Amino acid sequence: MNAAIRAVIRTGQARGVNTWGVYQGYSGLIEGNFKRLGTRDMGSIIQRGGTVLGSARCPEFQTEEGVELAIRRLHGSGIDGLVVIGGNGSQTGANELRKMGFPVVGVASTIDNDLYGSDVTIGVDTALNVALNAIDNLKVTASSHRRALLVEVMGRKCGYLALMAGIAGGAEAIVLPEIEAVPEQVAERIQDSYDRGKPHAIVVVAEGAKYNAEGLCRYFREHGLLHGFEFRSTVLGYVQRGAVPTCADRLLGTRLGSEAAEQIIAGNAGVLVGVCKGELTTTPLEEVVVGKKPLDPWFLKAADMLAR
């Protein structure tokens, strides 16, 4: 996200516009927690994970009064346009500001990659690389001890991180929220790996699946399903966030942030800036908040075929 913040500020400055940072997301917007930021304030942030502006979940912004108060704060500081960097929750808030007539442009950013209007979102590549590193390391223990390891990755109700990390990490099975997993079938897959002489089995489980990693382990134990491999679960959790951003993420953040600034300066507000089929795109926020982004069927098919 820092690459995007930097690109918004520096593009704005290059176009002769005054630029501000809003601290702590929508709660900072409601409290008027703003600071004038210029080009020099953006020095040495592109290589840092997270966001220098901070972030917050803000229930108050989900009320009409909260949104109105935020708009009053913005007007009070002479701010007449806002760039919102974030995922579904943030863009839903951006759409509320739009509905009340405030000019806002969204930037597609979430590790979950579940946001309609961009094929890929800021943070996904970095989070995937963290998950992959962990899977590679876990595979060493799994092979040394002849174990089945169930690795849980983030993603809310979306299986994108699990699917991609599972394919790139060579998992024996992948469990997704989009396809209801039958524990017996997962166990069969693991057992089959054992019977064919594999030294390990890695199962990547999405946190939003019906059975999470621990849930599956419990089910296997209670139903006496696995013979041969010992099995354990590992939850990667917040480790997947905050890493040094990859090159792909720095470039994506830069591209989306700069384009968002250009769009808002040009008066083209009420849209989300994203990348579709490699090209920069704008999608109306009202479509973004209702749109669904399905998993790529090619990868779904490949995952099943290649796990052998």
What mask, x for binding ligand F6P by CB under 6 A, covers residues 16 to 35? Answer: --------------------
Distance CA 41, CA 6 (A): 9
Q: Which residue is nearest to ligand F6P (CB)?
A: 154
Which position among 12, 106, 155, 159 is part of the footprint of ligand F6P (CB under 6 A)? 155
Give, as ranges, the residues between 85 and 144 that touch ligand F6P (CB under 6 A): 87, 110-112
Which is catalytic among the residues 112, 114, 125, 249? Answer: 112
Give, as ranges, the residues between 44 and 73 that touch ligand F6P (CB under 6 A): 57
Give, as ranges, the residues between 166 and 225 that touch ligand F6P (CB under 6 A): 207
For ligand F6P, the closer of residues 127 and 142 by Cβ is: 127
Q: Answer whether 14's CB lies under 8 Å from 31's CB.
A: no
Q: Answer whether 64's CB lies under 8 Å from 31's CB.
A: no
Least Å distance, CB 240 to ligand F6P, is 7
Least Å distance, CB 57 to ligand F6P, is 6
Q: Answer whether 153's CB lies under 8 Å from 141's CB.
A: no
Task: Establish if 249 lies at the interface with ligand F6P (CB under 6 A).
Answer: no
For ligand F6P, the closer of residues 143 and 246 by Cβ is: 246
Task: Decide if 112 is catalytic.
Answer: yes
Least Å distance, CB 112 to ligand F6P, is 5
For ligand F6P, the closer of residues 87 and 117 by Cβ is: 87
Least Å distance, CB 144 to ligand F6P, is 30
Least Å distance, CB 229 to ligand F6P, is 28
Nearest one of 291, 293, 285, 287 to 82, comparing CA atoms: 285
Strand partners, 283: 272
Residues in contact with ligand F6P by the rule CB under 6 A: 57, 87, 110-112, 154-156, 207, 241
Q: Would you name the residues annotated as active-site residues?
A: 112
